[in-house]
């Protein structure tokens, strides 16, 4: 099968700083591979501290001297809607490049491109409709909240759905009047390079958006440590989040971090079994299993356990693995050979920890590329590494339980707490279990279908803070309380000539 290569690939990927594409100050570059051939297809500029300094200076200048933070919400909203139009106009091209760079199936990449446009539309509408709090003390005082953009936001994004997740941060950061420096993941810089043209065509002022490619340890580290970047929004691994937390601490930066997950899908005996199988297959094998909210631990009530495992394994074997550009493909190639080796190492670990019932290696008909057959382990104990550790690939662990209490103990028995999926037709159990499970987001009888108005974030090792809807507005703005006295000035007076004259502090009846 011929390896598909999109037409019109760039001959190099550069930074975008202050309205211009530029190379690294020192000329540093790194290789970018495509995950089907694992061959270098382009070189990208590798940002260093000097490049981050340039980008931050441009963003700071645009914030303090440019029009963007001072525009009316409606004016910024119009620009954001034009950005959404630009994304929609080239959604097929975006999906093609994203699939080539990440290995995501083309149909799923197209959905991510359209979601990126919707993210901009959502925040374009939200800032126009936004209302802030006002508190009145009749005849005495009015207090109101004045929101202000904060400054330069540093955005660090992952490689699993890069363009969409970039939009999820860029949308609210720009809508609220901040300027940004984006550091995309080094494995997948291709689609991020399209933002510059989309933003220029939409009329975003120069310097408001800046892009620096490079390694996390170099460009990302310099962005986190830059004293003039007050906000860092990061999506990625929990361990990297810990490092960022420590490096940002001396500057007391605002942090929003969406980190790893090992989310449970809990299936009770009274659930709609076929719907639960469909949803939990999709929940771990969509996006190649490279998704933070994947339901990668399936907990099943014992009375239906054998039937569930049998149906699940049979359906997992039918999942179509193949060329990411083929519309029939449901699982494509993992993003990079390093990640492929990591996932395959967990597959080998799992063979000694659980009962392999589907997959377990490379598909026979795909001898090259980062392909892993959807892999299902049953009878996995709670102390197994494949039960406890995030694999971030098409690998799932299934474990039985005997009671609601045991199900909750298993669900909460990991360090992560991002998402949870609960399948039951018992209304009381559904709500009580949802409220007791340690997860930032819970879906009842549903796969991951998000309303953009709701908070997105996790607990425990899965993150810090929330984004989504007004929570994003909260993160990207300072909330200044303004107090206005309406009546007589009402305050104690110190230093009066008559020391015995009563003040408010001497009120004999404080009721």
- Identify the three-state secondary structure at position 309: helix
Maximum Cα–Cα distance across the chain: 98
Cα separation, 332 vs 290, in Å, equals: 11
Cα separation, 505 vs 502, in Å, equals: 8
The CB density around residue 94, as the number of other CB atoms within 10 Å, is 25
Tokens of 380: 């996995």
Active-site option among 96, 292, 353, 390 = 292
Cα separation, 38 vs 19, in Å, equals: 32
Q: Specify the DSSP class assigned to residue 219.
A: I
First to last CA, the chain: 85
The pLDDT value given to residue 492: 85
Cα separation, 258 vs 167, in Å, equals: 15
Paired sense of beta strands 264-267 and 297-301, if any: parallel
The CB density around residue 243, as the number of other CB atoms within 10 Å, is 15
The angle at the Cα of 38, spanning 98 to 155, to the nearest 5 degrees, equals 40
Beta bridge partners of 154: 181, 232
Catalytic, 258? Answer yes
Tokens of 93: 């091209």
Contact 212, 182 (CB under 8 A): yes
b/e map 410-420, b = 16+ CB within 10 Å: bbeebebbbbb
Residues in the chain where the model's pLDDT stays below 50: 509-511
Sign of the CA dihedral running 172, 173, 177, 183: negative
- State how far Cα 375 lies from the chain centre: 25
Sign of the CA dihedral running 501, 503, 505, 509: positive
Cα separation, 149 vs 475, in Å, equals: 10
Active-site option among 28, 218, 258, 390 = 258
In order of 191, 356, 374, 428, 446, the CA distances from 395 in angstroms are 27, 11, 6, 32, 20
Contact 147, 480 (CB under 8 A): yes
The pLDDT value given to residue 509: 47
């Amino acid at each position: 099968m011929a390896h598909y290569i999109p037409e019109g690939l760039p001959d190099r990927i550069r930074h975008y700083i202050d309205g211009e594409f530029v190379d690294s100050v020192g000329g540093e570059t790194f290789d970018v591979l495509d995950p089907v051939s694992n061959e270098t297809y382009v070189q990208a500029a590798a940002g260093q501290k000097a490049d981050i300094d340039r980008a931050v200076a441009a963003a700071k200048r645009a914030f303090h001297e440019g029009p963007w933070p001072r525009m009316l919400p409606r004016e910024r909203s119009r620009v954001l809607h034009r950005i959404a139009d630009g994304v929609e106009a080239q959604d097929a091209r975006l999906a093609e490049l994203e699939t080539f760079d990440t290995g995501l199936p083309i149909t799923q990449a197209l959905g991510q491109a359209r979601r990126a446009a919707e993210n901009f539309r959502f925040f374009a509408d939200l800032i126009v409709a936004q209302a802030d709090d006002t508190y009145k003390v009749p005849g005495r005082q009015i207090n109101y909240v004045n929101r202000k953009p904060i400054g330069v936001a540093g955005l660090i994004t992952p490689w699993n759905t890069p363009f969409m997740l970039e939009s999820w941060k860029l949308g609210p950061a720009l809508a609220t009047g901040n300027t940004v420096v984006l550091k995309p993941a080094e494995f997948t810089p291709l689609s991020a390079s399209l933002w510059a043209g989309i933003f220029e065509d939409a009329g975003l002022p120069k310097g408001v958006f800046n892009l620096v490619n490079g390694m996390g340890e170099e460009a990302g580290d310099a962005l986190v440590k830059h004293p003039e970047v007050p906000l860092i929004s990061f999506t990625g691994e929990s361990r990297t989040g810990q490092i960022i937390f420590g490096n940002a601490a001396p500057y007391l930066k605002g942090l929003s971090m969406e980190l790893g997950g090992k989310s449970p899908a809990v299936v009770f005996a009274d659930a709609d079994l076929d719907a639960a199988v469909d949803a939990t297959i999709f929940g771990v094998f969509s996006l190649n299993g490279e998704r933070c909210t994947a339901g990668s631990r399936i907990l099943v009530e014992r009375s239906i356990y054998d039937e569930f495992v049998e149906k699940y394994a049979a359906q997992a074997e039918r999942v179509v693995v193949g060329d990411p550009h083929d519309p029939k493909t449901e699982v494509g190639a993992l993003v990079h050979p390093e990640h492929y080796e990591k996932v395959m190492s967990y597959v080998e670990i799992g063979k000694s920890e659980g009962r392999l019932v589907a997959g377990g290696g490379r598909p026979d008909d795909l001898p090259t590329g980062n392909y892993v057959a959807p892999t299902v382990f049953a009878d996995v104990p709670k102390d197994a590494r494949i039960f406890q550790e995030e694999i971030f690939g098409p690998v799932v662990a299934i474990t039985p339980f005997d009671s609601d209490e045991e199900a909750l103990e298993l669900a909460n028995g990991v360090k992560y707490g991002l998402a949870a999926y609960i399948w039951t037709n018992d209304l009381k159990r559904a709500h009580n279990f949802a409220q007791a499970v340690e997860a930032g987001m819970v879906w009842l009888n549903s796969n991951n279908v998000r309303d953009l108005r709701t908070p997105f974030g996790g607990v425990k090792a899965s993150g810090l803070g929330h984004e989504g809807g007004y929570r994003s507005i909260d993160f990207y703005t300072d909330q200044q309380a303004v107090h206005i006295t309406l009546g007589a000035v009402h305050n104690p007076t110190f230093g009066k000539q008559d020391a015995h004259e009563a003040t408010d502090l001497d009120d004999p009846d404080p009721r």
